[in-house]
Structure formats: C-alpha cells, structure tokens
Structure 1
C-alpha cells in the first residue's frame, strides 16, 4: 500500500514537535486534545497561488528531511496568512528541528492570530524560557498562562520548574517561581513548585519549609511526601527521610512509590536487611520485575545470602536486564565467594567491553594469582592494543599482583620501566615510591615523592607517605610531623593520614596526644595496621585491656595480617 511521505512526515512532525514542545512549556498537550482555533481567529482571505506554493514547498521539504527549508517556508506562510493553524504547524516543526528562534517567531504569530489560545501562550512561554529571552518577558507569559487557565491551574503550577529548566541561574529561577506562585498560595501545588525550585537551587532548608506548607494544605499527598524525602536526602538527613517514609507507609501500605523510595533510603543508610525486606515486598507484588529482582539480588549478595542472590541475579540477566555486565560481575564475585574459580573466570570473560571490562580483567587476574597461576594472571593484564590509561591501570594491577606474592623487586622494575616512558606520571611515581620504601631504598622513595609533590602540590598521600616513612624509621621526626600535618590539612578525615599523625606523635613521645588521632582513625576505618598502632599506644599508656580488645577485634577479621601479628608478638609477655 502506498503511503504519502508528506502525510507521514506531517503526522510525525506533529507528534514529535509537540513532544519536544512539552519539555519546554507548562501543561502537556498530551493531557488534552489539541484545541480548535478560537471563533474569529481564522483569517478571512482566499488561498493565493503564492501561498499555496509556499505551503507545498514547506510540506515537500519536510517530507525530504530538509527541516530548515520547511521551517522557513511555513514561517513565510504564517506571516502572509496570519492563520493560527499554519503558525502552530510552523512552531511544531521548528521545535522538531531544534530551531528555538524560529519556534519563538511562530509562537508569537500564533498568539497574535489567536490571543485566546492557551496552547499558543503555553508554547510561547516555554520557548521564551528555553531560548534565553529576557526573563521579564518570560514571567509575563507564564503569569498569563496561570491566570487565564484556571481549569488547569494545578497542572500548570506543577510544571513550572520543567518550563524554566533551561534558566542557567537556578536561584533566579527560584525567585521567578516564588513571584509567579504568590497569588496561588491557597493551593498545595504552588508550594510544591516552590519546594521543587529550592531543591534544584540546592537550598533544601527553604525547600523543606515550602513542602511542609504543601502538606499542611493536603496531608499525605504522595508527590509532596516523595519530594520531602528527596529534600531530606539533599540535606544529608537520610535517616529523617527514612523515618518519614516509614510513618507514611503505616498509613498507606499500598503506596509502591513511597515504599521504593523508602527502600532506597534504607540502602543509603546501609541498613541492608530492612532494605531487602522492602524490596522483597515490592517484588512479591510484581514477581516479574527484573529491576526489583536485581535490587534484591544485590542486597542478598551484600548480606551473604548467595543462594538467593545467585538465583535472582541470574533471572534478571535472563530477562535481559540492561545492566547485564554488572550482573555478570556480581555473579562472578559470588562464584569467588563459593570458591568456584572456573565459573568466576568464565563470567569475567563474558565481560568483553564496556565500563566493567577493565575491572573484570583485573579481578580475573587476581583470582588466578591467588590460585597459584601467576603467569596466566599476568598475561591477562597485557593489552598492547589498549589506550595509554588502560595500559597504565593494568600495569598497576600487575604490580600489585607481584607485591602480593612478595616479589617487590620485580614490581619495582616493572614500574621503573614505565617511568622511563612517562617520567611525570603521578600514579607511577607514587607506586614506585611505595615499592622503593618496601625495598628500603629510602633515598629513591624520597626523591620520587618530592618530585610527585612538585608536580601535584595537593597530593595529600604523597606528603603522608613521606612523613610516615620517616616517622616509622625514627628519622627527622619534626619534619615528618610537618609533612603529615600538611597532608591532614588537605584530607582531614582520611583514616590513614590520621593514623600517621598518631604514629609520629607516639614516636615523638606524645602518646596521650597520639591516641586521640589513632582512635579517630580506627573509628573511621577498622584497618588492621591502624589497630596495631592503636593497640601499641594504648599498651604504652598502661591501657592493656583496651589494647587487647582492639587487637582481638582486628585478628578476628584479619588473622594473617603480618604487621598486626608482629606487634602483638613483640609486646605481649
């Protein structure tokens, strides 16, 4: 059957043009039928040969994909005729062509031809905001839309932020919305618009005040409850969000959106078991939902429930989940936990490209190395056709493999060879310095760390590594403390730098001051080396019961850690 290309294009342009327009103006055209021109809006004029020619030119150019020509021709016909239907078509196709200037011209012709048209005013307001026009003109157009469309006022208020999305200064957009909503503060949607604008402007405090006003007018209104949860999270009050959603769900247990948001808030709070319970409840109501199955699978893996995790992740993969490689990666990790090396390797091998490919290659190499297949592991990390950054990351991974099997000299030579080619690469300098330190080549270590600091004065770990290495050897302790203090200024919450500060203070005979830094470091990260240092300082302060407790905790988690075991062996009678 023949299909008219012109008619096909017009239908497509109408649909797509309107779809694009809806991202810009206020209420969606899709929510109501296209309006008819107002009585008296149609021009009383005959169709001339020139007008017909321009109209056909516009249609044919559009059918051929020559959108620029089609837009220009439609604009010309709209100007000649003043016909609101032609102006509307010109605006739609201009939006489809992403020509905001032409869309603005067409929208102005439309509003002039049919001043009563709500669609025309709505589209003009949207394209003005998107095109960077004077904001006072934008506000006038939006104010008219709000004032002259009372039957759609709630929807239009809720759409204000979408309409102003392209205003670059979000604080300016917030103030515009505050002015536009001032006459409508008896409606919860007006307060919602203010709260949403505040969230976009990164002002959660103002947003929370506005959303509370909305909820005072309409308690338990789902959109407001969900936005309030978002604002709590933006204010780093995820716990408050979770408690508020939990309370809401006691009254509305059937609300899936709130339950999903609650589950995600629990994940953010690292309350994995309660989060899984919520996702499982959602999954029970929608057993074929691959996203929910994926979420429960991930949480089950986190909780060590590998049987359930493996089943759900495999089901999500079979259902064609878009995160297929991420699922394969997690399934491979589960296989590792179950000591199924061959299955893990097979899954990692299935991740051939994409964002997880490099990590999969490294993990498979680590797995082979732990299984005593070091040569095979190293060969997996060789990718001569990869880009420079990927090759460097693979080289660093190979270096780590050699460190792990106590072959630091080979690792150092590997990095040293790369430094010949890239002498100012800060990652290579840092790694080579750490290997030199392990080989007790203090001068090489210091030279490379100082070169790194010269190249990157904000590299906190370079200062820390140099300071700690000096302190651990009892060398130039005052300078070591200065280096670590500077590192701490750059990264005040880093547990390893806090550990270094505690250790250098201890070396300088200030055990009481040292323990403050070490306890803070251990509270942030229960690392076995930090535990060794903290225990030793506590032991020196005659707090031996505390030292024993810290050591036992660390040994339970890291029974083979050499530095920890050596510290305990040296100090215990």
Structure 2
C-alpha cells in the first residue's frame, strides 16, 4: 500500500467527519439539524482500514498518558520513554520506525503494548497472518486488552470477513468497561453496510452507556447516535438523549448542535411543554433564525393553534436552503392540513413534488402517503394517474398507485390495476407480490401461493415475497402444529427456506423464521444452525440470541454457550421476558435449578400463561423431584402450542410421574361462555388393539353424536373472529398426522376421481372415535372402541362430544368435554 496516498486518504476522511460533526454557526449554517450524509458510513474498505489503523497507531501526541490500555499492560512496559519515541516514528511514517520497534522488542519481547504496535505495523504492511500471530500472543497474556481485539476486527474487515469482524466488535462493546468508540463506530459501519440501522443504533448506545455523564459536554458520537435515531423517527429518544444538557455555556458548536436537535426532536414528537422550555433556552440565539430553528418554532405555533404565525415562520425559511425546500413545503402542508386548509395543503405537496416527470419513486411514495394523510388521497391519485405515461419508471409508479388504492380500501380497483399491469409487465415481481396479498386476504390460498412464487421467481431478493410465500404455503388458518406433527407439516417449507436463504444469505428475518420453523418441528440441529447464522450476521439481534441459547439448552449440550448467549441478550435487553426465560432455562439445565426458577418465574410474571416458560418450569420441578408442581406446570404448558420435542418430553414426564392403567373422566357441559355443569363420567381402559371408551352421561342431544380425542388438556371457550366458540381450548382433533381409513376391499388403481375424493373425505384422524349413540332422554351408556390408541398417548389431552355425527369429516358444535389427566 502506498502510505502517502493512504495517509492523505485518511486525512480527507477525518476532515469529512470533522465538517459533518463540528460545522454549525457561521460557515455551513444549514448543518444544524440536517441529515448527516450517508457517505459518512459508505467509506471504502481501504479508507475504513486506514482510519482504524491510525486510531490505533496515534498515541495522542506520541505519549502513553491517555491510551486506553489495562493497567497490567502499562505496568509491563519495558521503557516508556523509548516506546513513546517508537510510536512517534511510526505515526510520522518515519522509515526508522520499524527498525526501532524491532530493536525495542529484542530488548523487551514481552512488552504487550510494543507487540500491539508491531501488529499495527504488520497490518499496515498487509502482513495479516503475522499480525494475527502477534495479536494472539498479546491476547493470550491479556484477553481484556480491547485495543488489540479491535485490531483483529481490522484484519477481518480487510479480509472481507464482515460477519466475523462484527462478532469481534460486538464482543468488545459488551465486554469493555470503557466507552470503546472505535468498536462502536465500526460496528455501526458494518451494520449500516447491511442496512441494519437497528443494530447500528445498539452499537452506538452501548458505547455511550459507558461514557461519563457530563451535562456540559457533547461528543461527536452523541450527534451520530442522534442522527441514527432521527432516521428512524425516534424523536422521543433524541429528547431523552439530550434531556439533561446545561445550555448555560453555548460556546461549543457541538452543544449548540445538540440543543438544536433536542428542540427539533421535541417539536417533531409533539412534546409541547418540553418544546417551549427548550425554545426559551435558545432564545435570541442565532440558530433560531436558521431554517431548522424556524421550522421548530413553526411546529410549536401550530401545536398551540396559532396557524397564522406558524405559516409566517415557515415562509421566512423559503429558499433559505434550496436543497431543503421540498422539506419546508411538506412541513407547510402539514400545518395547512391541521388548520383545515386541505386544498392549500395539497397545493404545497404538489410544489414539494416538483416536476412530476423528474420526481423519483421515493418522492412519489412520500407524496401519496401525505396526500392520503391530509385527506386529499383522490386528488393525489388523479395526479399520479395523469403522470403515469411521462416517467421512465412507469411500472414501479403504478405499484405506488396500487398501494394507494389498497390504503383507500378500494381493493377492487387495486386488483384491476394489478391485472392490467401484469398483462403488460408479466415479470414484475412487486405486482405479483401485491396480487398475492389480495388473493390471500380473499382466502384464495393456492392462487396466492402461485402469485408469491411468481414474485420470487422474478426477483430472488424480494424478501417480503419469500416470507409471504412461506406463510401462504403453510397457512396457519388451516394448519395445526399440535400432536408432534409440526416437522411433517413443515417438510415442504424447508426446500423453500433453502432457496430463499441462498438468494438472501444476509437476511436475518429469513434466518430467524427458518430457525423457528425447524425448532417447532423438533429439528434442533437445523434450528441451531439457523439461529447461529443469524447471530453471526447480527450479533445484537436479541431474538436470535435467545433462541440460539434455548436450542442448546433443549439439547442439553454446550450449556456454557447457552448461558453466554442468554447473558449477551440480557445485556442488550435486560427486561425482555424471552431473554430472561432463556437465561433461566440455561441455568436449570446447568443444574443451578433454584436460581433458574427465579428467572423463569420472573419471565412468567411478564408473560402469564406462556407455554414455553411453563414447560421450562415443569422441567425444573422434575429435576427438584417435586412431582405435584411439575405436573401442574405440565398441564398448563400442554394447553399451549409447543414444539414437537417439548410436548413429547412433557408427556413422558407426566406418564412417569403419574402412571395410569385406566382413566375415569368427569364430563361437563360446555358452551361459548366456558365450562358448565357436570353431566356424568366416561371411563377409558386399555386393551390389546386400542382403548375401550364407556360413557355414562346425560343431557346430550338425542341421536348419534361425534366423539373425538382433542390435542390439549382444556375445555375452555375461546373467541374466533369475534364469535365465542365452545371448547376452543381443546385444540384440534388428535392424530391428524396419523390419518386412518378402512382400506380393505378398496381397489385404488381402478378408483375414479370422484370415488377417490369421497374416500379422502372419509379419512379421519387417529383420535376420532365412532359416534356415541344417545337415547331420546339424552342419556348415553354405550361403549365405543378407539383402535390403535393407548392410554399413555391420550394423557394430557381432552375428550370432546359434538352435536350430531361427523359429515364429510366435519364435526358439529362441541357440547361436552372432559380433560384427560
């Protein structure tokens, strides 16, 4: 690498950052509360590398006084004065520097700071294996020398191993007790490089959380963090960030910038009292006469109902910053809309849009969103339609039109527009995707699947379409994951996930959904792989961290890793109940049962009735040999929808803790309000070929009544689409994964299509019993046989009696129920 070129490149970069963060009053006045250019984080790898190297090499005036290194490393310096001179030579790119460092290391081979400088120089020369060996020696002696760990991150970035680099910087941010701004900035860069602004925000937040609290000091990193929040419209968090600033000394440009951002954020968030207080603190300050200050004051006046004064302030900023004129016009439109001047508001939005022929897609999208918001959506649609033929991006613009029609609830027009668009542009992925959404909402599931498939076929990077395709393929409106059938039910999804992730290897949402799908079917190796990949690419993704921990605990392997992952998640989200559950479950598996139960109970208080937490508590009490508590938690957990392996384990515990050779069930009347009066008993006994079910009940509808074993141990009612449904807590019929049909004397080869369909309708789940005969008085004392069933597999389920016999596989209303202990 040409060092002179590299140095000048770094100096240019440093100048850019300085201008972005420090220029305020006088000079680049519009920098107050304007967006930081994306180029700040779009620097090339070589520029980034140079900046990192310089931050490690420069010893703040070539002394060691303020270098953030552990005390034990400082104590190990062989000759502080000589080492400072070596650092000076290296930072000045003096040709004598490398030889001076080599001579120093000959005298002091165990000086860790000198080895750190040697590693920096080796990186400068592109000798990465040698640098890594040197750093390994440093970190073996002192694992908490985080500046050396950061150098490993530099190497990985230079080698384009971005996921590994992210892990390294994440570890530094979480472990370093000092505010490691280098790790924070480059974790931010890595995150924004992938479009993960949430992870970038976390990296900044972790850095600042360790910075000394000083109400009179604003650092550049505070403003960088505020900009990340601003891009996400998290205005309340900006106010919170700068809430304690002391405005008595405004000699610092950074302080002025922070105060201006605080005022803007408060006005954007509608925090009127705070806005007035912050405005008073800036009273008579020159920043208020600049465009951002004027717009903040205008928002305050509008919130006070003084629309005339608000509009006058907005107009004072006209063309003050030409590039921001559309932003000013949008702000004016909002005030006019609130003032009830919808037509004038629409006129200003048209001005903000500018020339429709040259407006970008994002500008059209913003225009339509705002026109709808101010109640002028139809006028916006008319403008959009009038300009469809005058743009080179016509197809995408028509999709904006479709989205607007959907927002307006005009699904018929949206559908017609899509049909027309697809006739002209049959390969337009976005059109197929939207068509699929409409079809899915109309319950035309197969047509929706076909539309989503066409969307991903035409654009392999259309992640929303992949997710929609997976959802439509496995529509939870018709799929039930109970009875250990999730793995089989999801079998057709796994190849789709493989295709989606191959096309989008950095998509955290796809990796996470893949992991959840595998986990629900008990495919723990596959689930662990998916969650680990998600964590590798997004080290601060709390959901993936928690699930990566839980999978390990479920496997009862690599428990130290399970605990470490859960603890990392807890550092990031200390009050997240899913994270607390993961940590408690890891501790239980590590046989720290009492401590684990404390965490699990805390998680359960935050998520009452959560089946996963209940299952973990059941396992904990099994380990404590408290059978009564364990069984109580098992029953409660089985009322929910659990992964295959979890429900199987709980039923195995139930059978072991309370074995039964026969069952006597109390039967109750049920309706949409819940469980009613007792109406008798049903006994279940085992025999070689199945179970014998003997009824002694009354108060039932006369005639044949359907009777089935259901998935869950509950008879409670539920609400579906606003309607109360009796026995909904029982779940679906047991044994859908083991469909049964009398195949004797059936010639499948000569069967017509109609006969085949008829026989398919006759197939029934394993848990469906023959209908129960009920006499005219409503009593039933009959015996029916459940073939191929065992007492053990029925434990922790329920028995439901339906009004009338099944017709074409469909059951009548639920009228009676018994929980199977």
When the two structures are superposed, what TM-score results if normalisation uses the length of structure 1?
0.48
- Structure number with the higher strand fraction is 2
Instruction: Tell me: higher relative CO, structure 1 or 2? Use CA pairs within 8 A at least 6 residues apart.
Output: 2
- Give the number of the structure whose residues are more often helix, by fraction: 1
